Structure 1
Amino acid sequence: MIDNFLSLPIGEPDGYTSQLSALGLRWEYFEQTLRMSEQARRNGKTKDDAKNAPGSQDYFTRVRELRYSLRTELEWKPYDPLQAPLIVSPDKTVGIGVLLGDARTGLPGSPHPRSKRPAGVTKERAVARNQDLQLPFEEPEFAEPDVAQSDADEYAQMVTWYLLTHRHEARKTGVVTVRSELSLPDRVGPGGKIDGYQRRILLPAIEFESVNDYAVETTGDFDVSVEER
């Protein structure tokens, strides 16, 4: 499966279907994940919930639904290196996690989106491995795994993609737009934030009905971006 990376079309207009297909994936898996996570966010916004409950539920649901879809549909396996949850292909060459991005998420061109928060040690290691395994214009070399290898070595040939998302809530209308992309990071920039990608598969934006009837989040680790529209 990893061999398909070098043949992914770059810059193809509306080419997400063929790009996902090269990885054995479909847009429907990600669309369902994003719709379920938005619903979980809204369900977690009551007067009795913690301030950060909606964003936390959004995150947990993105992880759970993506893993559930790929596990049940494609027989991928959950993998949790140091509590940085991934879902991994059966041949252990492709891993996918979830990540919040800035306002550039889902938009073509440069600059690339930045992760909303510092990557942390586990994600930094994943990015470094991406650099080692996916050098431009070179075919990566692979070795058959040794049954005596440690768990870490078992995943040594795995590149890590992220479902990068950005949630925009219009201040006046309350309409929510979620932009997303499935991207392969290859750089951690200033402040420890991921800000460069070897591949970016831009996915369709999803628009949700107004949230004006819900309370506005003001604090919490998983805060919402509210901007003028």
Structure 2
Amino acid sequence: MIDNFLSTPIEDSGGYESQLSDLGLRWEYLEQTLRMSEQARRASKTKDDAKNAPGSQDYFTRVRELRYTLRTELQWEPYDPLQAPLIVNPDKTVGIGVLLGDARTGLPGRPHPRSKRPAGVTKERAVARNQDLQLPFEEPEFASPAMGQEELDEYSQMETWYLLTSRHEARRTGVVTVRSELSLPDHVGKGGKIDRYQRRILLPDIEFEKVNHYAVETTGDHQVSVEER
């Protein structure tokens, strides 16, 4: 693993550290998540693993590590609307999920990155709420709450951000670069993919050593070469 990383130009003024601070976050929390997910991907690429295991373990680890870190460091709480996992701040004004982006992820300017897969109903609702929260406030006329409405109202002022990631492996050197951004989507476009954001906090690139084809597994006093990738 290469510990030094390159800073990506920022989309908004103020630098990524101050922008994250505005949300009550620090880069090190997100960096830890991305490093752990890459480690999980590599550990799941043995000849006995299913072909989709690396990508699946990468996703599961991003979800788990992001939620664990923010829960233990900042007392944020997990929230799972229709199995679309988020981690939410104590005020329930900011929620964060994970999302796989395309090659534009982490790069400034337009076009904005698109999600690799269709957003699905839950994310589309979150994007719609992000749009509504930008409209001028009007005092609603509340009637008696309908059954099941209590939980919805509890999160009614929550913006939903996503930690977008995109992974690139250099053909010549084999070095892996993970680009990322923490962004607030406001549009679902063609094919149901998120393709526009109100805000984009572009984060530093992280570089990792090339993926080796064999690892050394220690068994007792012996070292055995194990095909890993």
TM-score (norm 1): 0.83
Written as runs of structure 1 = structure 2, the 5 A alignment for 1:34-183 is: 34-135=34-135, 140=137, 149-183=149-183
Inter-partner Cα distance in structure 1 for 2:201 and 2:182: 5
The residue aligned with 1:198 is 198
Q: For residue 184 of structure 2, give the secondary structure of its aligned residue in structure 1.
A: strand
**How many residues are treated as equivalent by the alignment?**
201
Residues in 2 aligned to 1:142 and 1:66: alpha-carbon distance in whole angstroms? 35
| Aligned-residue offset at 1:134 | 2.1
User: What letter corresponds to residue 12 of structure 2 in structure 1?
Assistant: G
User: Residue 130 of structure 1: CA displacement?
Assistant: 0.1
Query: Are 1:37 and 1:58, in contact at CA under 8 Å, matched by a contact in 2?
Result: yes
Structure 1 or 2, whichever has the larger Rg, is 2
Distance apart, 1:172 and its partner CA? 2.1
Q: Kindly tell me: are residues 12 and 44 of structure 1, through their superposed partners in 2, closer, same or farther at Cα, counting changes over 3 Å?
A: same
For residues 12 and 132 of structure 2, the distance between their equivalents in structure 1, rounded to whole angstroms, comes to 23
Q: Deviation digits for residues 165-215 of structure 1, max 9, x if unmatched?
A: 00001122211000000000000000000000000000000000001426x
Matched to 1:36, the amino acid is M
Q: Is the 8 A contact 1:173 1:212 kept in 2?
A: no
Q: Is this contact kept in 1: 2:11–2:108, CA < 8 A?
A: no
Shift of 1:141: 6.3
Taking structure 2 as the reference length, what is the TM-score of the superposition?
A: 0.83
Shift of 1:152: 1.7
CA distance in 2, matches of 1:158, 1:63: 19
Over aligned residues, Cα RMSD in angstroms?
2.1
Runs ≥4 in structure 1, deviation > 3 angstroms? 140-143
Moved more, 55-64 or 171-180: 171-180
Secondary structure of the corresponding residue to residue 124 of structure 1: helix
Is 1:98–1:163's contact at 8 Å kept on the other side of the alignment?
A: yes
What's the % identity of the aligned pairs?
Answer: 82
Amino acid of the structure 1 residue aligned with 2:72: T
Shift of 1:55: 0.6
Residue 11 of structure 1 deviates from its aligned partner by 2.4
Q: Kindly provide the CA deviation profile for residues 127-165 of structure 1, in whole angstroms up to 9, marking residues without a partner as x.
A: 000000024xx5x5688x99x752122111111000000
* Contact kept in structure 2, 1:142 and 1:157, CA below 8 Å: no
Give, in whole Å, the separation in 2 of the partners of 1:124 and 1:142: 24
Structure 1 position 11 matched with structure 2 position 12 = yes
Q: Deviations over 1:44-74 (max 9, x none)?
A: 0111100000110000000000000100011
Secondary structure, counterpart of 2:62 in structure 1: helix
